[in-house]
Structure 1
């Protein structure tokens, strides 16, 4: 039935195609698979930042004299990169979710100056709604939990740094 619908939206700007592109992207595919792949990627980004953040924190005379606080401060600061990566992924997936749930599609034929809106037929809306609910919503939920965990680790580490 979709073959009968004449769609003026360029293929790369269709919500389902945007979903496919995000799913196949190296960066945005982290939360689509196993939870362990997202955790592993975030752990690697944290570990890459840990030596740099600890080195920067060692510039503080107060922290240099207190090695446990220095390590905790470096570990907390290194959580900023994973948190920023999660926020960027959340923004991308939220954009696709919005496009899938929308009843119309905003698109550009050749540039920013000729924006158009096309009303999705009922069959497209139904298909997009199913993808949004069963594919994108779990991804956003996983990202939300990961962001909450990273923020909690930052707050807990900052509290630990104060307590030491």
Structure 2
């Protein structure tokens, strides 16, 4: 009988669902988290649909704050601000999920629990596993993280411009 090499995946003590590569697979197949991997047009459509859904929540709040008949511009600026804010929180949550998996893929060790929170263990990844995980991180996870970060920057800029124009409009009227 030939002895198993220490780097053999068969002797990996980390439970299947806590292995970074399997966490990545689960994340990329999850409905909302997969949005970061679709083509740019589909990504934009998904965020636009979500923004429209959010507008149904934000619009009544904005119209209760400002009269649509008397202050339509202020009401519109508040709606845009609310949509961008809630959309940013949504994108931030998705980005943090991807970052968590990316951090686990990029680490040299894997922290895991065998049966509960009280028995945490650490497993050092063999070189082959580290190399595979680094490739997944570089070519699969990092582009998604970059897309989420760019989206947050765009939403932040939109909110800043919205607030600036709203402030200027307020002083002019």
Q: TM-score normalised by the shorter chain: which range applies?
A: over 0.9
Q: Which has the larger radius of gyration?
A: 2
Structure 1 regions of 5+ residues with no counterpart?
none
- Give CA deviations for 1:77-119 in whole Å, capped at 9, x if unaligned: 1212211111001100110111001111111111101110111
Deviation, structure 1 residue 163: 2.4
Contact 1:90 1:143 survives alignment (8 Å): yes
The TM-score, its normalising length taken from structure 1, stands at 0.92
Q: Whole-Å Cα distance in 1 between the matches of residues 69 and 56 of structure 2? A: 14
Alpha-carbon RMSD across the aligned residues, in angstroms, is 1.8
The TM-score, its normalising length taken from structure 2, stands at 0.88
- Give CA deviations for 1:124-160 in whole Å, capped at 9, x if unaligned: 0000011101111111111100000011111111112
Cα–Cα, structure 1 residues 70 and 119, in superposed 2: closer, same or farther, change >3 Å?
Answer: same
Task: Give the corresponding residue for 1:51.
Answer: 56
Q: Whole-Å Cα distance in 1 between the matches of residues 146 and 112 of structure 2? A: 28
Q: 1:74 aligns with which of 79, 86, 108?
A: 79
Cα–Cα, structure 1 residues 61 and 85, in superposed 2: closer, same or farther, change >3 Å?
Answer: closer
Counterpart of 1:105 in 2: which secondary structure? strand
Counterpart of 1:79 in 2: which secondary structure? helix
Task: Give the corresponding residue for 2:26.
Answer: 21
Q: 2:96 aligns with which of 91, 95, 101?
A: 91
Structure 2 regions of 5+ residues with no counterpart?
none
Cα–Cα, structure 1 residues 58 and 21, in superposed 2: closer, same or farther, change >3 Å?
Answer: same
Do structure 1's residue 126 and structure 2's residue 131 form an aligned pair? yes
